[in-house]
Amino acid sequence: MNSVAQAQDLLERYGNLEGEALLSPLIRDVFPGRLCLVSSFGAEAALLLHMVSGIDSGLPVVFLDTQKLFPETLAYRDLLVERLGLSNIRTIYPDYTDTSRSDPDGTLWQSNPNACCTIRKVKPLQKALKGFDAWITGRKRYHGGMRTALPLIEASEGRVKINPLASWSAQDIKREFERRGLPAHPLRAQGYFSIGCLPCTAPPASEDDVRSGRWQGREKQECGIHLGDDGKFYKGSQ
C-alpha cells in the first residue's frame, strides 16, 4: 500500500481520535519500529513529548540542531529528556560540507533564509527519516497561515505524517500543560510563542498570531520541512 492510500485508510480507521488515543495504536500496532517523532523542543513541544513518553519512552525522537538555536532551547531539551525519561533522542546536525560551502560565515539566514533552512533543516531531516515509514509532528491549525487546513493524517514524500494535535487550540495546550505539570520553555516568559532559530525568531506582535514572530518582515511562513519541492504545503492525502 502506498503512503497516500495508507494515510486515507488510517483516517477512516482512526480519524475520530486525537492525542494519545490516536498515537497509541499507531506507535504500538500500525508502525512498530517504523515511526518517529520530530520535535523542535519549542514552546509547545513538551505536551506531545509527554504523550509519547507514556506510550513508548524509547520511541525515536528526532531533534534538528541547526546550530542556530537559542541556548534556552538546548537547555529545555535536556530538561525534558531527563524529566520524561526519553531514551532515544537523535540529535541531527547540518552537513559540514553544506554549511562550509554555502554558509561559511553563518549569515546565510540574512541573505537567503530559504537556502539556510534547506541546508540546516530540510536536508538533515531527509537523511534522518530514512528507514521510517511515518513520522509525528506537533503542528496545529490554530497556528494559522498554511497550517489552517492541517489534516490529522496525511501522506507526504512517500511517508505517512501524523499530526495528533492538529485540532487543539491554544487554550487546550495551556490546560494540558497545567494538568500534567509540564515546565514551560524558558523563552515563554519573554513573550515567545513559536520558537525556531535565534536569528529568525522574535516575540509575535499578538498572541492571536503566534507564528508572526518567525521570519518577521518576510513573506516566509515555513522552514520547508513540511513543504514539497513545488513549495506546496501538502503532497498527497489530506
Q: Is the pLDDT of residue 221 over 70?
A: no
pLDDT > 70 fraction of the chain, expressed in percent and rounded: 85
Report if residue 222 sits inside a domain: no
pLDDT band at 230; cut points 50, 70, 90: very low
Q: What residues act catalytically?
A: 223
pLDDT score at 231: 42
3-state helix, strand, coil in the chain (%, to 5): 45, 10, 45
Report if residue 10 sits inside a domain: yes
Separation CA 48–CA 33 (nearest Å): 18
Q: Which residues contact 95 (CB under 8 A, 6 or more apart)?
A: 119, 123, 124
Nearest to 48 by CA among 26, 74, 75: 26
Pairing of strands 153-156, 134-136: unpaired
Report if residue 230 sits inside a domain: no
Residue in this structure with the C-alpha cell 539556510, named with its chain if needed: 116
Report if residue 237 sits inside a domain: no
Q: Is the pLDDT of residue 180 over 90?
A: yes
Residue 138's domain is classified under what CATH number?
Answer: 3.40.50.620
Report if residue 225 sits inside a domain: no
Evaluate if pTM is beyond 0.85.
yes
Separation CA 237–CA 161 (nearest Å): 10
- Please provide the DSSP assignment of 34-85 as one string: SEEEE----TTHHHHHHHHHHH-TTS-EEEE--S-B-HHHHHHHHHHHHHHT
Report if residue 221 sits inside a domain: no
- The answer to whether 43 and 188 are in contact (CB under 8 A) is yes
Q: Is the pLDDT of residue 237 over 70?
A: no
Separation CA 2–CA 99 (nearest Å): 34
Domain that holds residue 88: 3-213
Backbone angles phi, psi at 201, to 5 degrees: -130, 135
Report if residue 90 sits inside a domain: yes
Separation CA 172–CA 111 (nearest Å): 38
pLDDT in tens, 71-117: 999 999 999 999 999 999 999 999 999 999 999 999 998 888 889 88
Could you give the number of structural domains in the chain?
1
Report if residue 218 sits inside a domain: no
